[in-house]
Structure 1
Amino acid sequence: MILEKLNDLIRKFEGLRLKPYLCPAGVPTIGYGHTGPEVSIKMKPITEPVAEAMMVQDAATFATASANLSPVLYFDSDKHSAIADFCFNLGTTRYKASTLRRKVNAGDWEGAQEELQKWVWGGGKKLPGLIARRKAEALLLK
């Protein structure tokens, strides 16, 4: 499942880093926000095509997972991209237990837009990058 707007959101908000790094949560990361057991700070840098392939695979994984949690997403690629990006950023576990998911499943898109704005905190403060990301996602829920 390829959602081009999802890929665009990931590219824009994750950025591309070919060398491994620790994300703000302290998780080893590489490429466009790719994490997993195979990623370590000591791994060799990757190429841009490898990063792109990882991102496409990760995007497909979160697109499928978000739609499984909210089947209503199958009917609108913009809304699907927004929620899949949220899941890519914060994980499906948080989405699964969230009021955001309840709003999405109820088709309450205005309520879902409002809920997205609550997910902008990191380390006890509002983060400009998360504020911008949630705003971009909310625009796709209209």
Structure 2
Amino acid sequence: MARDISKAVELIKSFEGIPDGDPSTVNLDAYLCPAGYWTIGWGHVVIDSNGNMVKGVSNKPIARAIYPNGITKAEAEILLQDDVRKFSTGVEDAIHVQISDTRFCALVSFAFNIGIGAFRDSTLTKLLNQGEPNQIPSQLLRWTKSGGKELAGLKRRRTAEAELWNSVAS
């Protein structure tokens, strides 16, 4: 059964925005996200030819070489849809209990932001799989820091994910 992941896409778009690393050009260019990764479109991390995420200011030439002409908004939409599908598969593989599509979308947004490995290994996922769904909102709200520093944007995002989780009974 295919899941409706539209709420995950909406939530991700609302927090990722669609920044442009070079507004003087026609297309969208790669930009450095707050965590230091080169990103393009709605939070799509730039991957080099070895499959590694491109990180750090010094790697700007690499990030820009991967997308030399930038991307259009339509291409950004395609990248986001592909990324959400990948993260949906990762979340589906990590959870072993039935949850609604709405709750699933909250988890996809969370995993998209923290990475599927961190999601899979998180206490949040362990508690969910142990049948503790009421613990999920408080677990989401624990993930508001980057580099040991609380970020207002992450706090708003986790609150929105918790609210989406709580918007349905199961």
- TM-score w.r.t. the length of structure 2 is 0.77
1:21 alignment partner in structure 2:
31
Q: Hey, which bits of structure 1, 4+ residues long, moved more than 3 A?
A: none
Q: 1:60 is aligned with what amino acid?
A: R
Native 8 Å contact 1:62 1:88 kept in 2:
yes
For 1:101 and 1:15, locate their aligned partners in 2 and report how far apart those are by CA, in whole Å: 27
For 2:6 and 2:36, locate their aligned partners in 1 and report how far apart those are by CA, in whole Å: 28
2:133 alignment partner in structure 1:
109
- List aligned pairs for 1:1-142, cutoff 5 A: 2-17=4-19, 18-38=28-48, 40-42=63-65, 43=67, 44-72=69-97, 75-142=99-166
How many residues get paired? 141
The structure where helix makes up a greater share of residues is 1
How far apart are residue 26 of structure 1 and its match?
1.6
- TM-score w.r.t. the length of structure 1 is 0.91
Instruction: Give 3-state SS (helix, strand or coil) of 1:100's partner.
Output: helix
Q: 1:33 is aligned with what amino acid?
A: G
62-71 or 99-108: which moved more? 99-108
For 2:36 and 2:162, locate their aligned partners in 1 and report how far apart those are by CA, in whole Å: 27
Native 8 Å contact 2:87 2:108 kept in 1:
yes
Specify every segment of 5 or more residues in structure 2 that has no aligned partner in the other structure, as ranges: 20-27, 49-53, 55-62
How far apart are residue 9 of structure 1 and its match?
0.8
2-11 or 101-110: which moved more? 101-110
RMSD: 1.6
Native 8 Å contact 2:40 2:46 kept in 1:
no
Native 8 Å contact 1:22 1:41 kept in 2:
no
For 2:70 and 2:133, locate their aligned partners in 1 and report how far apart those are by CA, in whole Å: 41
Q: Which has the larger radius of gyration?
A: 2
